[in-house]
Amino acid sequence: MSEENFKANNFTNLPDIRSYTWSSPSNIALIKYWGKNKNQTPKNTSISFTLSNSRTITTLELNKKNKADNNILFDVYYKNKKIDEFRPKIDLFFRNILEHCSYLKEYSFKIITANTFPHSSGIASSASGMSALALCVMSLERDLDSTMKEEYFYKKASFLSRIGSGSACRSILGGINLWGKHTEVEKSTDLYSIKYPYEICKDFLDYNDTILLVDTEAKKVSSSDGHKLMNNHIYADKRYKTAQKNVIRLKSILKNGNLNSFTSLIEEEAMMLHALMMTSNPSYVLIKPNTLKIINSIKNYRETTKIPICFTLDAGANVHVLYPKEGEKEVESFIESELKKYCKNHLYIKDKVGFGSIQL
Ligand code: PMV
């Protein structure tokens, strides 16, 4: 499929008012996407767990304008309060998807959004937020085109959310998702994410992810700026090649369920992401002293108990603690007694791999 397949123009009989609501999950990358091309396609393939409890719920209300124009008019409400914080990103998103969704010119919008996780918790809401909004847009398109197939609906929703925020394209479907062309993964593409297409050992279907909130401040360097710094990065080529190899390593781990190999690979990926930030020009550091204390504590605990717990990191200081269902009670009392003290306000969020976006 090419970009051309996602152009939807020349609709007639547009409804005057409509409202759509979607709930979309966040996701955590196991193989990280870090570095992108101009058209928001990735430099390497990434694979993620969908997180069932950390979600954004978004309602898109639309009103038909008297005359269609390129000016996208919208207001954003976080819960019941009108806010401007998300405006620039949403404005750019609408402008960038206009060529694929020309019917948007006909409407003005009210967007009401809320997260199930605490606002300003440091958890990136762009993945869940952009996917929820893209799905609302696709619900309108589906109302305009009664012949639309379900498969196309979800593909284009992933395609549109990718334009809003790369990692958002992996938040449409549940379970494990893959984004970015890989020569050894059939049907993989840079344009949208696909459901991970190979055998998965059952341990991974309900894997736990407890997110330790170390830092709740806004990041000093945004993900967009971080991606840009990969353009002239001295390790860029090596990174992209390694990521493609790591996809193959993960493929066999997901199949055979070797949790010790899983912990090694996942931690390598997390550390590589942050090593790239620390070695870019200019360099920067997003992890905090407490991030390192947690990492060391997890490694010691794994060494002494032989329980296959591991960590991964997003572009921030928070730590995602990954562990299987078997032995979860023991790990959770370790988190309570040894890791919680390193979290800001002792806050952490218990989540797990689970279901994808749903229409409400
Ligand atoms: O989707 P973006 O542009 O915010 O980039 C996200 C990048 C990482 O979260 C660090 C990794 C990933 O694959 O999600």
- Tens of pLDDT, residue by residue, the chain (360 residues): 889 899 987 788 888 999 999 999 999 999 999 999 999 999 999 999 999 999 999 999 999 999 998 899 999 999 889 999 889 999 999 999 999 999 999 999 999 999 998 766 666 688 999 999 999 999 999 999 999 999 999 999 999 999 999 999 999 999 999 999 999 999 999 999 999 999 999 999 999 999 999 988 877 888 999 999 999 999 999 999 999 999 999 999 999 999 999 999 999 999 999 999 999 999 999 999 999 999 999 999 999 999 999 999 999 999 999 999 999 999 999 999 999 999 999 999 999 999 999 999
What is the whole-number distance in angstroms between the Cα of residue 337 and the centre of ligand 1?
31
Contact 196, 178 (CB under 8 A): yes
Pairing of strands 81-82, 310-313: unpaired
Distance of CA 277 to the CA centre of its chain: 19
Contact 252, 262 (CB under 8 A): no
Taking 3-state DSSP, the helix, strand and coil percentages for the chain, each rounded to the nearest 5, stand at 40, 25, 35
Task: For 211, list phi and psi in degrees, rounded to 5.
Answer: -95, 115
CA distance to 100, 138, 157, per residue, from 150 (Å):
18, 11, 11
Q: Please name which of 218, 243, 249, 217 lies closest in space to residue 230, comparing C-alpha atoms.
A: 243
275-316: per-residue pLDDT in tens?
999 999 999 999 999 999 999 999 999 999 999 999 999 999
Distance of CA 233 to the CA centre of its chain: 23
The residue whose CB lies within 8 Å of the most ligand 1 atoms, and thus the one to mutate among 27, 30, 32, is 32
| E strand or H helix that includes residue 154 | helix 150-164
pTM: 0.97
Q: Residue whose CA is closest, atom 9 of ligand 1? A: 314
What is the whole-number distance in angstroms between the Cα of residue 192 and the centre of ligand 1?
14
Peptide bond between residue 197 and the one before it cis (omega within 30 degrees of 0): no
In this chain, the answer to whether the domains covering 3-197 and 208-352 adopt an identical fold is no
What is the whole-number distance in angstroms between the Cα of residue 293 and the centre of ligand 1?
24
The residue whose CB lies within 8 Å of the most ligand 1 atoms, and thus the one to mutate among 223, 228, 229, 286, is 223
What is the whole-number distance in angstroms between the Cα of residue 227 and the centre of ligand 1?
9
Task: For 122, list phi and psi in degrees, rounded to 5.
Answer: 90, -5
219/285 Cα distance (integer angstroms)? 10
Contact 94, 72 (CB under 8 A): yes
Q: Where are the domains of the chain?
A: 3-197, 208-352
**Partners of 177 in beta bridges:** 48, 195
What is the whole-number distance in angstroms between the Cα of residue 315 and the centre of ligand 1?
7
Instruction: For the domain made up of 3-197, give the CATH fold.
Output: Ribosomal Protein S5; domain 2 (3.30.230)
How is residue 42 annotated by DSSP? B
Contact 29, 43 (CB under 8 A): no
Tokens of 8: 């939807």
* Pocket, ligand 1, Cβ cutoff 6 A: 29, 32-34, 46, 126, 165-167, 223, 227, 273, 314-315
Q: Which atom of ligand 1 is nearest to the CA of 167?
A: 1
Instruction: For the domain made up of 208-352, give the CATH fold.
Output: Alpha-Beta Plaits (3.30.70)
